[in-house]
Amino acid sequence: MSILHTLKPKFGSKKRRKRLGTGSGSGHGQTSTRGQKGQNSTSGGTKRRGFEGGQTPLLRRIPKSGFNNMRFKKVYEWVNTKVLDRFFNDDDEITPQLLRSRRILRSNNPVKVLGTGEIKKRLTVSAQAFSKSARGKIEKAGGKATVIK
């Protein structure tokens, strides 16, 4: 039977703290177990976390990821004024639905009219956006450019 005041930890289970810089007789004096010279032999000789010895660190080797404004970019399907002039007659009312039904446009993205080419017919064009040159050419030919929301 053991008595509380005689209890001790098992021999070898408790290790004494290594006392550094306590003189040459201790075995831990002079260089305090740090060896001779070199980066880690003095205070302040540690490398930052993630340092890979001059090699490009892992965090700089892997590609960037995270927030990107591309998901908010408005993607337009575009049509030029020369196409409108070729496929439509005077006084036609052009809408994105009509352009899709005639297979001039392929997707359901918003439509932007661009000003490449001449337009000689008087057209009423409705689209989500117009370039300045397209709006000017349509109105110069006597037509109307209407912006749809």
Look-up: residue for tokens 């300045």?
132
State how far Cα 78 lies from the chain centre: 27
How many domains, the chain?
1
- Letter for the amino acid at 131? S
For position 134, which CATH number holds?
3.100.10.10
User: Does 104 fall in a domain?
Assistant: yes
pTM over 0.95: no
Sign of CA dihedral 90, 117, 128, 102: positive
Ramachandran angles phi, psi of 54, nearest 5°: 90, -15
Range of the domain at 107: 93-147
User: Does 32 fall in a domain?
Assistant: no
Task: Give per-residue pLDDT as tens, 55-101.
Answer: 999 999 999 889 989 989 999 999 999 999 999 999 999 999 999 99
User: Does 97 fall in a domain?
Assistant: yes
Whether 143 contacts 123, CB under 8 Å: yes
Task: Give per-residue pLDDT as tens, 87-98.
Answer: 999 999 999 999
